[in-house]
Amino acid sequence: MALPPPPGYYVPAVLFFDSNEEFDVPAIQSHVLRLAQGGVTGILVQGSNGEAQHLSHDERKEAIRLTRKTLDDNGFNNVLVIAGTGAQSTRETKKLCVDAKEAGASHVLVLTPSTWPPQMSIDNIIRFHREVADASPLPYMIYNFPVVTAGIDLDSDTIATLAQHPNIVGTKLSCGQIGKLQRLASTFPSTEFAVFAGRSDFFYTSLLCDSAGLIGALVNVLPKVHNKLLKLHQEGNFKEAMALQAKLGHADWAMQKLGGISGVKAIVSKNFGYGVPNVRGPLKSLPIDSLVGNKYANTVEELIALEKSL
């Protein structure tokens, strides 16, 4: 029986490149280790922050393999590696799921294809995910993120229908719709179908609605702060947890305003001492010196001070 990833908080890790846009292996390893040391339950390789669409098939496999090996070599065998395996054809998506297993992932996370939105009817979306899940050698999760799928937004009925498939074990909701999350989380136990918030700005709210936790970009910067929030929830400390969630909400918004993936890399590089904010085109790199005096960077760095104290 296919099982979902355990409850907790996961990180769609950024991938560091050198000046030639090749893998910066030392920086990638430093990042993976800092996240593991920060207590993450697992690392999502090639989520939207991992620039999956900018990588060759061989690079995608290598990123998964490098992440798994770095964790294992440093005693973090219990930290999961989930692989983003979305592609624009059913055939390619199936291949990427096989590649993910060969490279050491435990689960796959799959976006809905979006090159031809008018043809992606609900029936066709269901057919796509079922067909790939049938072929996937790993437990399968649905990734709902309308921003990167031409506005395609799976509703709770569609996801609930897909959840009946024996190999479909969860979803990441980067749509940010708390009502959708609660409907799904109250329908399925997380031991059978895990419903994860996809953004830190509703992490605590999602926990109150019985989500399995979070898979969120801000964890790249603040793994220990997210761990603190999870523990406050587990202790029933509502007031302090809500206050910390408010700060995470501001920081999550600030990271979006800083420029997404390159902004995450720039903040990490400036504050934790590894990597540079290179991205592959057509994305634009954010110079580290542009963070000085930037109100959004200041918002994030207020929480980085807390991160470093934990």
Provide the mean pLDDT of the chain. Answer: 97
CATH level 2 (architecture), domain 8-237: Alpha-Beta Barrel (3.20)
Residues belonging to the binding site for pyruvate are 215
CA–CA separation, 215 vs 248, rounded Å? 14
Residue 95 has pLDDT above 90, yes or no: yes
DSSP letters for 152-205: ----HHHHHHHTTSTTEEEEEETT--HHHHHHHHTTS-TTTSEEEESSGGGHHH
Q: Which two tokens stand for residue 134?
A: 């049938």
- Locus of tokens 């980085």: 304
pLDDT for 1: 84
User: Given this model, what pLDDT does residue 149 score?
Assistant: 93
Which pLDDT belongs to residue 2?
Answer: 95
What CA–CA distance (Å, rounded) separates 265 from 7?
A: 26
Share of the chain above pLDDT 70, in %: 100
pLDDT number for residue 207: 98
What pLDDT was estimated at residue 239?
A: 98
pLDDT digits (tens, 9 = 90+) for 195-235: 999 999 999 999 999 999 999 999 999 999 999 999 999 99
Partners of 178 in beta bridges: none
Going by pLDDT thresholds of 50, 70 and 90, the confidence category of residue 275 is very high
Q: How confident is the model at residue 240 (pLDDT cuts 50, 70, 90)?
A: very high
Binding site members? 215
Query: What amino acid positions are annotated as catalytic residues?
Result: 143, 172
pLDDT at 259: 84
Amino acid 48: pLDDT: 87
Crossing angle between the packed helical segments 90-103 and 122-135, to the nearest 10 degrees: 30
| DSSP string covering 112-167 | PP-SSGGG--HHHHHHHHHHHHHH-SS-EEEEE-GGGTTT----HHHHHHHTTSTT
Residue that is written with structure tokens 């936790």 in the block: 213
pTM of the predicted structure, to 2 decimals: 0.97
Angstrom distance (rounded) from CA 78 to CA 76: 5
Give me the mean pLDDT over the 303-310 stretch.
98
Please write the tens of the pLDDT for every residue from 132-180.
Answer: 999 999 999 999 999 999 999 999 999 999 999 999 999 999 999 999 9
